[in-house]
Structure 1
Amino acid sequence: MTQLNNQTQAQALNPPPRLLMGPGPINADPRVLRAMSAQLIGQYDPAMTGYMNETMARYRKVFKTDNQWTFLIDGTSRAGIEAVLVSAIRPGDAVLVPIFGRFGHLLAEIAQRAGAEVHTIEAPWGEVFTPEQIEEAIKKVQPKMLAIVQGDTSTTMCQPLEHLGDICRRHDVLFYSDATASIVGNEFKTDEWQLDAVSVGLQKCLGGPSGSAPVTLSERYVNWVRKRKKVEAGIRTEGHKDGSEPFIRSNYFDIPMILDYWGEERLNHHTEATTMLYGASECARIVIEEGVDASIARHALHGSAMVQGVQALGLKVFGNLEYKMNNVLGVYIPDEVEGDKVRGQMLEDFGIEIGTSFGPLHGKIWRIGTMGYNARKSAVLQTLSCLDACLAANGYKGPKGEAAAAALEFYAHG
């Protein structure tokens, strides 16, 4: 037993080959992985500070913004969400969270942990909100912040945001969106839509690994968190009559401190995750090289081809297709097959992963992604052919052998 354990400990890491066609993470672009293999340098090396500035400039283009404060939070996409919310929310602040899937519930939880008085409205899974519904809730709640997901992979829906900025400005509400699953795969215009804060991750349409959370912050947001910290620092010096703690409740996610780290002062806050910065910067470079709008069009093309393929098999697509994200779709599992068994065979026999589902959709739909490096024709055709074969092997009674042909027809003439 001891000899076996020693042998196991000595084995090199060698993950099995997989084609990740679920809702994320996806296979990282090889160019990103190559960038991440570069040697480390000191965090105050002029070359490193140059890379940081370059990364900020690249993500301004990705977010379509002129925001000076566009940088990385070290951590997965959830770290970006937490940094934005924890830094802005004072205990007792009203925050409105429209929920149309699992990740709306996540925003509500994080806001609640930050001490917010959280108010939610909910849309049926597979639908989104109208601007009128959100404005009505804002008038009722009078929140300090509107926090909303753009693309929720749990339902595959993409919430329209273009009218919400005007609404938030009219009612003096900070406007934040998590766009982790949707950025560069679906239209997103930070400045034109008047967003105050946006956070994303790399592991979806940006084509990288999880572990870095690009964010962009408006001057309005930055002034709010800096003013808040300055005022509360003075309050703490004078003492709290009610014994409450006014400071931003996290050191790691303290946005004003992180601004000083990324700004000209370069004040020490943490040791930058250099390898992740290399990867995040390369993700942005690749998108800029292709063109942000071209990236969105590519995701729309291959996402539509996937839809055509599954519909040719007689499978029903979940949700309101008018608001479906370009890069992921939900597919109802046929009654006569066992969903997990089909997924298991796809993974074990073909090395292709598709996603299961959450909450009220658990066991009812598969989720299939076409995003980032995997938003390409060969990946779509492989996945459709594999799904076709595995359905047939598991007793599916619908059409067979039609999926790849339908996708090819769409690519040729769609």
Structure 2
Amino acid sequence: MNEHAFWPPPPRTIMTPGPVEADPRVLRAMSYPILGQFDPAFTAMMNELMGMLRRLFRTSNRQAYPVDGTSRAGLEAVLAGVIEPGDRVLVPICGRFGHLLHEIAERYGAEVTVIEREWGTAFDPEEIIRAIRRHRPKVVALVHGETSTGRLQPLDGIGAACREYDALLVVDAVATIGGVPVNTDDWQLDAVVGGTQKCLSVPSGMAPLTYNARVERLLAGRRRIERGLRSAGEGTSARPYIRSNYLDLCQLQDYWGPERLNHHTEMTAMLYGLYEGVRIVLEEGLEARFRRHRMHERALTAGLAAMGLRLFGDPSCKLPVVTCVNIPEGIDGESVRSMLLDAFGIEIAGSFGPLKGRIWRIGTMGYSCNMRNVLLTLGALEAALLRHGMRVPAGQAVQAAMDVYAEEQAVQTG
């Protein structure tokens, strides 16, 4: 008898909005021998990774590197770097992760102004631009892909408005980087934070980010103030702000810069994984990858519709890599999820806050985003619903998805 039934981990098909299945190439890369963090072979890889991240984020920014820690560490590092106590920060919220940005900004002493929309919708960019004109914030922080509701926030014109009113635009692209276009320079985004555990198919534990010269100048100004206070012998109480040491962007960019000033011991195996994960994305090609995610979204949603299920939220702003499904009346959503996991080894997600118990969330992200997983999920969900007493047109969901794949193949073969 196995005393530790949880070990080794059971096989799973993970169809949640993250984490998703890690690409086998990534896991293999993470098993490579450890190098010292100042070994020339390692620092050469760091340099190459920064160039790859610039291509991923579609930017010419000098600063593009990962923070050691989950996506939240990257968000906190950026917000801690650009916020001083008393700064006005505008946070548009239409889901759980907008509330997270609000909380982080508030913890760093910001005076936060919130504008809100109903969960399941996104803001018209003009709504946000009007709020920028009205409140004149120093920082605007918003979520690009809100996984709690499956919505994609349009960013058209928001960056230009921030430039006009001298605000910095910080974007949470954790759910979108590598699966949905994130055009950092074209959209005039000042800082963007990504995630590894979603469309990049790398285990959680690093937060790739980028920021531009506007942010660099702000950080340089703060550094001069801090050094001046230290040289004058002023104590901590005299400092206008207190930042995290571990998440200090000034020290992190020194560590990743040409001087390689020691800040922390790099997460060697995780960096190997991120390097390989980004390499896989760039090998596939960003546009091809975006098309692949759209194709599997089409197949999944066609199958759900054929099953008689209704999608949640405003379709005009649907996030391509997350599909939210209304739980049918009279069906125990958690019981269905448990059956999918126990009987089929397939995990889908519930939701949070006002949507708890109302929707399922199905992710089609990165390595998990493939025909096998989509067809298995549809077939298993149909079986689970039948076992829960719902009348479902047997077999139609998988057939509808297969029709989409056949159409796509016909287009590709010409």
Task: State whether TM-score is above 0.5.
Answer: yes
How many pairs does the alignment contain?
408
Q: Is the 8 A contact 1:87 1:248 kept in 2?
A: no
- Structure 1 match to 2:208: 214
- Structure 2 match to 1:59: 53
How far apart, in 2, do the equivalents of 1:163 and 1:248 lie? Answer: 33
Query: Residue 37 of structure 2: SS of its match in structure 1?
Result: coil
CA positional deviation for 1:225 = 1.3
1:132 aligns with 2:126: yes
CA positional deviation for 1:68 = 1.3
Question: When the two structures are superposed, what TM-score results if normalisation uses the length of structure 1?
Answer: 0.95
How far apart, in 1, do the equivalents of 2:240 and 2:208 lie? Answer: 27
- After superposition, residues 329-348 of structure 1 pair within 5 angstroms as 329-348=323-342
1:158 aligns with 2:171: no
How far apart, in 2, do the equivalents of 1:400 and 1:8 lie? Answer: 41
CA positional deviation for 1:246 = 2.5
How far apart, in 2, do the equivalents of 1:24 and 1:244 lie? Answer: 42
- After superposition, residues 255-274 of structure 1 pair within 5 angstroms as 255-274=249-268
- After superposition, residues 13-412 of structure 1 pair within 5 angstroms as 13-235=7-229, 238=232, 243=237, 245-412=239-406
Deviation string 1:211-242 (CA, Å, 9 cap, x unpaired) is 01100110111111121221243246557799
Query: Residue 225 of structure 1: SS of its match in structure 2?
Result: helix
CA positional deviation for 1:140 = 1.9
For 2:348, the aligned partner's letter is I
CA positional deviation for 1:167 = 0.8
How far apart, in 2, do the equivalents of 1:229 and 1:247 lie? Answer: 11
Q: Is the 8 A contact 1:128 1:323 kept in 2?
A: yes
Q: Is the 8 A contact 2:382 2:392 kept in 1?
A: no
CA positional deviation for 1:12 = 9.8
Query: Residue 149 of structure 2: SS of its match in structure 1?
Result: coil
Question: Structure 1 vs Structure 2: percent identity of aligned residues?
Answer: 51
Question: When the two structures are superposed, what TM-score results if normalisation uses the length of structure 2?
Answer: 0.95
Q: Is the 8 A contact 1:232 1:247 kept in 2?
A: no
Deviation string 1:338-360 (CA, Å, 9 cap, x unpaired) is 10000000000000000011011
CA positional deviation for 1:328 = 0.7
How far apart, in 2, do the equivalents of 1:42 and 1:221 lie? Answer: 30
Q: Is the 8 A contact 2:229 2:239 kept in 1?
A: no
How far apart, in 1, do the equivalents of 2:245 and 2:221 lie? Answer: 17
For 1:294, the aligned partner's letter is A
How far apart, in 1, do the equivalents of 2:265 and 2:192 lie? Answer: 23
- After superposition, residues 1-12 of structure 1 pair within 5 angstroms as 8=3
Gaps spanning 5+ residues in structure 2: where?
Answer: 409-414
RMSD of aligned alpha carbons: 1.8
